[in-house]
Amino acid sequence: MKINPLLPSMFHRRLALLYALMVVAFLPIGAKLGWLTVVRGDELRAEAERALVRHRWTPTVRGHVLDRKGRVLAQDTPGFDIAVDYEVITEEWALRQATADARAANRDAWLALSLEQRELLIAQSLPEHERALQEMWDEFARVGGVDRATIDARKGAILAEVRRVASSVWARAREQRQEELTRRARRPVEVSLAEVVRPIREQRQAHVILRNVDDGTAFAFRRLSERMPGVRVIDAGARQYPYETMRLRIARDTFPAPVRTEEPIEVELRGVATHALGWMRERVFAEDIERRPMRDRASGAIDRGHYQVGDHVGQSGVEAAMEDSLRGLRGQTTLHLDTGEREETPAEPGHDVRLTIDIALQARVQALMTPEVGLAQVAEWHREPTLPIGSPLNGAAVVLDVQTGEILAMVTTPTFTREDLRDRPDAIFNDPVNNPWVNRAIGAPYPPGSIAKAPLILGAVTSGAHRLGHAIECTGHFLPNRRDVFRCWIYKQFNTTHTARRGGALHAPEALSVSCNIYFYTIGRALGPSGVEEWYRNFGVGEGWGLGIGPESGGFLGRIGGAPLDVGDAINMGIGQGPVAWTPLHAADAYATIARGGLRIVPRIRTDAPAHAEDLRLDPEAMRQTLEGLRMAVTERDGTGSTLTHASGSEPIFNVPGLRVYGKTGTAQAPAIWTNDANELVPAGTPGARLRVEGDHSWFVVLVGEPGATPRYSIAVMMEYAGSGGRVSGPIANQIIHALVEEGYLPRVDALAGRAR
């Protein structure tokens, strides 16, 4: 017999076959081992290392928000939260305890028992632990001083929130895993959700059930925590706003005669600076976690400022805009289970944010715009009001420091407190007429009306579209053959003209003083559509300021739909009507630019915000004549902002002694507000629509300072649907000047002696 040298015997052949079978049998195991060690080795090694590490977070303190003088406007205050482990909230704790009891009672036979037998033993032990858990929750409610329904509602909210976060995290993990495997395999790879589901952090930690409990309650829970499974007392704090509610005495001896009295009025102010400061929310959104996850996906570094369920997050205003700066970093204790080593990283408090606002001045201005004081409600002396007598008037006021561009006060009415926000959100967000949530000072655009005339005359002269020496006659109506359009206000009301009243054509100062529409229709036509748009933009219309306190409206220029402006638009925009709108801050900003001689400094509300300036290079003589016209407007007898006439006579609108005031009135046509039965805004003519409010918006913008010096402050006041700028907004602007004196921003002058004090 010939023997194969490679397989010398049957034994060897059988042995080779056995080896081959063993190789085939171990191929899947080897492949799996290779997959685990080579492909997923780093990932699994990291998971194993993480399992040997325990992290415990210690809370940080959110930074303060301060006013310009260092007063604390927002702060964290010491307090305690009572939290409970997630497995107790889900009642998985009872199942775990029942399982442990059943296993302990049947230790020797446990491994031999079938799954059904084990489940039966666990089910027999489970009711005892479920009953203990319910008794614990009853005791929890009693010690916490709340009813059980409140506790159950809070538990339900936590469960819903954690499930929402888990779904988001798992969906994102699945997507990332699919992308990774698809990239490696170079073909689409499907990953099931079960492959990526892991307990998330929120399912392993305690969650707050009771917030900001007092010391006594916290101490009681500490004593009870040994027999209350999973209950923890956490050092925490609440966000407080010390000036949110204030009481202020307002003198009324310099008010207009119809509301003047020697007796001051005490006003309770609620929601002082709410819109600027903003507020917090207790719910963490998925985008918060996405923006600041606990662990950076690329580097693996831990972010101690990451978000956890139950965190407070800035929702609006400065609290939201400066969230990362205010938030701070948690402290961390890291325990290595394999070595027993402990690492401590102390918490870092959040940074303070200082605002340019003076909260005392802010409160005074808000008080002046409170209806019960008497200036911000419809009165008979307002002349032909469109709202019932006594109706409150909504509006906004801004005070700017001319030299720096800093905002000293920014008031919007109506306002609200954070308690209102919690208890009556519908009254804040679902009121289409009053819109308390809107910061009217920066967030709502209004037609400027005649206050736009001062910036436009400067633009026309500077660009060469108009010569200062060219006087213009007031003809009553701009188009020779049309007496029903483009009319001057004096022709519409009294069937006369400014030329007839003054005995000649008007130059720029006179035109500003009496607010002649014909003069400024002419300016609008001279500038043309592109020129009018350019100069509105030069004075800031169309852009915001990046204040960092919430939504800003840049105003708007141009027709809806983007159709180009025509000459008719330019003529109308010459008096601040037509397709143009701006906010009260735009108005104060524009007049501050005039006071600086054409240097525009972008307004800011944070002291650390950089100053941005642009020189508009305005014609110097045009500047001088414009300021003269603004002075005449508030001092000359026929100036539109000089005199208040009422049933008992007349009086100057501005009555602060020893100061120089420049100003311009504006009465701007405004769209009426219509709503349906559901209290929703609808166009006029909609079946069933109800007219809620109509009329003109009232404007007054002033510059004020000491005689012979550059004006120091720019003040813009706008009152919605209030009618006459001089009659309604003028007295409020006058009292804001008094407030600047009271708070030390302007000198107090003895009216008799003429001496500053």
For 696-712, the pLDDT digits (tens) are: 999 999 999 999 999 99
Clarify whether residues 35 and 85 are in a common domain.
no
Clarify whether residues 574 and 677 are in a common domain.
yes
Q: Name the residue among 462, 257, 395 with its Cα closest to residue 716.
A: 395
Query: Is residue 580 in some structural domain?
Result: yes
112-148 pLDDT, tens digit each:
888 888 889 889 888 998 898 899 899 999 999 999 9
- Counts of helices then strands in the chain (DSSP H, E): 24, 25
Clarify whether residues 23 and 88 are in a common domain.
no
Query: Is residue 208 in some structural domain?
Result: yes
More confident call, 25 vs 529 = 529
Amino acid symbol at 646: H
Q: What is the pLDDT of residue 152?
A: 92
Rg (CA), the chain: 36
Q: Which of 237, 268, 285 is the last residue of a domain?
A: 237
Q: Name the residue among 341, 160, 374, 131 with its Cα closest to residue 264.
A: 374
Residue 261 pLDDT greater than 80, yes or no = yes
Clarify whether residues 27 and 84 are in a common domain.
no
Q: In this structure, how many other beta carbons lie within 10 angstroms of the beta carbon of residue 681?
A: 13
Cross-strand partners of 399: 409, 715
Q: What is the pLDDT of residue 146?
A: 92
Q: What is the pLDDT of residue 255?
A: 96
Q: How far apart, in whole angstroms, are the C-alpha atoms of residue 3 and residue 300?
A: 64
Query: Is residue 130 in some structural domain?
Result: yes
Clarify whether residues 673 and 570 are in a common domain.
yes
Q: What is the 3-state secondary structure (H, E, C) of 471-499?
A: CECCCCECCCCCCCCCECHHHHHHCCCHH
More confident call, 432 vs 271 = 271
Q: What is the pLDDT of residue 48?
A: 62
51 token code pair = 């399992």
By three-state DSSP, how is residue 136 classified? helix
Amino acid symbol at 592: A
7-53 pLDDT, tens digit each:
556 666 666 676 777 766 666 666 666 655 655 556 556 666 666 77
Contact, 497 vs 488, CB < 8 A? yes
Determine the average pLDDT of the residues in 397-407.
98
Query: Is residue 252 in some structural domain?
Result: no
Residue 266 pLDDT greater than 90, yes or no = yes
**Average per-residue pLDDT in the chain?**
89
Q: Name the residue among 441, 574, 600 with its Cα closest to residue 520.
A: 574
Clarify whether residues 150 and 201 are in a common domain.
yes
Query: Is residue 685 in some structural domain?
Result: yes
Q: What is the 3-state secondary structure (H, E, C) of 654-678?
A: CCCCCCEEEEEEEEEECCCEEECCC
More confident call, 655 vs 292 = 655
Residues of the domain holding 111 = 80-237
Question: How many distinct structural domains can be found in the chain?
Answer: 3
Clarify whether residues 15 and 144 are in a common domain.
no
ω into 349 cis (within 30 of 0):
no
440-497 pLDDT, tens digit each:
999 999 999 999 999 999 999 999 999 999 999 999 998 888 888 899 988 888 899 9
- The top-scoring range by mean pLDDT among 200-214, 279-293, 652-666 is 652-666
What CATH number is associated with residue 494? 3.40.710.10
Clarify whether residues 175 and 30 are in a common domain.
no
Query: Is residue 56 in some structural domain?
Result: no
Clarify whether residues 527 and 638 are in a common domain.
yes
Determine the average pLDDT of the residues in 371-398.
91
Q: What is the pLDDT of residue 40?
A: 56
Q: Name the residue among 60, 46, 58, 61 with its Cα closest to residue 344.
A: 58
Residue 501 pLDDT greater than 60, yes or no = yes
Give this prediction's pTM. 0.78
Query: Is residue 303 in some structural domain?
Result: no
Clarify whether residues 97 and 31 are in a common domain.
no
The DSSP code for 37 is I
Q: How far apart, in whole angstroms, are the C-alpha atoms of residue 403 and residue 384?
A: 39
The fraction of the chain above a pLDDT of 70, given in percent, is 92
String of b and e for 192-218 (b: at least 16 CB within 10 Å)? eeeebeeebbbbebbbbbbbbbeeebb
557-594 pLDDT, tens digit each:
988 878 899 999 999 999 999 999 999 999 999 999 99
406-425 pLDDT, tens digit each:
999 999 999 999 999 888 88
More confident call, 297 vs 211 = 211
Which residue's entry shows tokens 């940080």? 60
Q: What is the pLDDT of residue 711?
A: 98
Q: Which of 201, 222, 237 is the last residue of a domain?
A: 237
Among the residue ranges 283-292, 573-582, 730-739, the one predicted with the least confidence is 283-292
Task: Identify the band that residue 678 occupies on the pLDDT scale cut at 50, 70 and 90.
Answer: confident
Contact, 238 vs 77, CB < 8 A? yes
HSE toward the beta carbon, residue 105, CA cutoff 13 A: 11
Clarify whether residues 34 and 160 are in a common domain.
no
> In sequence order, which residues have a C-beta less than 8 Å from that of residue 83 and are 6 or more positions away?
206, 207, 208, 209, 231, 232, 233, 234, 310
Query: Is residue 323 in some structural domain?
Result: no
Clarify whether residues 31 and 97 are in a common domain.
no
Q: What is the pLDDT of residue 1?
A: 45
